[in-house]
Chain A
């Protein structure tokens, strides 16, 4: 299995809703990442997890809450979002976030397209 699987593919939520995005990989990768991509813009890094621990938070608002329950799974919990949070949310994984074994390609999922109404 050489894929990163993201679910759901599409999500519409209200500003008072709580929802979660899920990301899964079975490549034995120990680093996982969340990116946000607005239309016609490059992906922006949100969070980096290394060995199931949060190592980088790119000053993301607290209404986005990441969770890494195990080495194969990464969640992004959403609460009280704003319409401007509508975007494509991408998950990625790599063998590691540091060290020589990090010097390989990063694998991205197809993303969850989120619309906040």
Chain B
């Protein structure tokens, strides 16, 4: 089962920051948090991932709380093309392999 909880939907205005929350209260010390998005049933697109430090790349920033029980994905200047389903994923280990188990995701609507 997925170890994450996200709001089912959110919206924001174009040009504003979109802050997408994620709870993962049962995360273990060595489990990474990954964020993906999916547009119109295309393949999921990698956004960012992190373990405990905040991370930033050209797409987004990831803020992980000190206790690692929650995180926030920040899209600094949302555009209409950012409308998508955003998945917060805790990567878990099973036997000798890691696996990404998707939760329900947040449907983000960026309004003009």
* Smallest Cβ-Cβ distance to B102: which chain A residue: A42
Contacts of B41 in A (CB 8 A): 37, 39, 88, 111
A98 x B43 contact (CB < 8 A) = no
| Interface residue tally on B, bucketed by range | 20 to 34
With A31-B97, A42-B103 in contact, is A111–B42 under 8 Å at CB?
Answer: yes
Contacts of B103 in A (CB 8 A): 42
B46 x A105 contact (CB < 8 A) = yes
A42 x B105 contact (CB < 8 A) = yes
A50 x B43 contact (CB < 8 A) = no
Contacts of B68 in A (CB 8 A): none
Q: How far is the CA of A42 from the CA of B49 in the complex (A)?
A: 18
B101 x A50 contact (CB < 8 A) = no
Contacts of B100 in A (CB 8 A): 33, 45, 92, 106
Whether, in the assembled complex, A44 has its beta carbon less than 8 Å from a beta carbon of chain B, the answer is: yes
Whether, in the assembled complex, A81 has its beta carbon less than 8 Å from a beta carbon of chain B, the answer is: no
Contacts of A43 in B (CB 8 A): 44, 102
Which of A31, A39, A42, A110 sits near B104, CB closer than 8 Å?
A42
* Smallest Cβ-Cβ distance to B49: which chain A residue: A105
Between-chain CB contacts (< 8 Å), 24 pairs: A4-B43, A33-B99, A39-B41, A42-B104, A44-B102, A45-B100, A48-B97, A50-B96, A56-B95, A56-B97, A56-B99, A90-B44, A92-B43, A102-B98, A105-B49, A106-B46, A106-B100, A108-B46, A109-B43, A110-B42, A110-B43, A111-B41, A111-B42, A111-B43
Residues of B whose CB lies within 8 Å of any CB of A are: 2, 32, 34, 36, 41-46, 49, 51, 87, 93-105
